[in-house]
Amino acid sequence: MFKVGDKVVYPMHGAGIIEAIEEKEILGQKREYYVLRFPIGNNMKVMVPIDNCQEIGLRRVIDKSEVQNVLKLLRSSCTAMPANWNHRYRANLEKIKSGNIYAVAEVVRNLARRERERGLSSGEKRMLENAKQILISELVLAMEMKEEEARQLLDRAFA
């Protein structure tokens, strides 16, 4: 499905690059794994079983042409969110888990606006930062830019 050098998104972790494909024996079972390196943050490496990729939701990073659609979504009006904090948190978590960049961008947009207007709980603040980091990681790889440039691009979308 993917090859070494491909830029992919691992839901809940963000965008990374496939550095290697390795066969490992874990718990007595031999499997092939993608070795992903996440250039944003702490340069973490993760091994993803190749046969679980679709279940996990591993997908290619969007191309440059789609970035404008993401930025347009960030500038658009908020969608209705549950008033109850717990319901809102769960709905947003499901969107982030989906790995869909538009769903993650929607969470970022809605929580950023809510933070400006009413403030967020500590849990939602962490969720906003996590969602932003996931979005920034994909923008970095899609646009081939530095993390700070991607963060500024995101911030300008809210201005």
CA atoms within 13 A on the CB side of 11: 20
Stronger pLDDT, 98 or 84, i.e. the higher one: 98
Kindly report, residue by residue over 95-109, the tens digit of the pLDDT.
999 999 999 999 999
Give me the percent of the chain exceeding a pLDDT of 90.
Answer: 74
Q: How far apart are CA 27 and CA 71, in angstroms?
A: 44
Give the chain's mean pLDDT: 92
- Cα–Cα–Cα angle for 118, 94, 73, nearest 5°? 60
Name residue 135's beta-bridge partners: none
Provide the CATH number for the domain around residue 98. Answer: 1.20.58.1290
Q: Tokens 């494909």, residue?
A: 21
Average pLDDT (51-68) is 93
pLDDT at 130: 95
Shared-domain flag, residues 21 and 98 = no
Average pLDDT (52-62) is 94
Reading the block at residue 28, the tokens are 């007595």
* In-domain check, residue 40: yes
CB–CB of 38/138 below 8 Å?
A: no
Shared-domain flag, residues 87 and 143 = yes
pLDDT at 117: 87
What is the model's pTM? Answer: 0.90
Look at residues 134, 140, 150, 106 and name the one whose alpha carbon lies nearest to residue 12.
Answer: 134
Shared-domain flag, residues 84 and 99 = yes
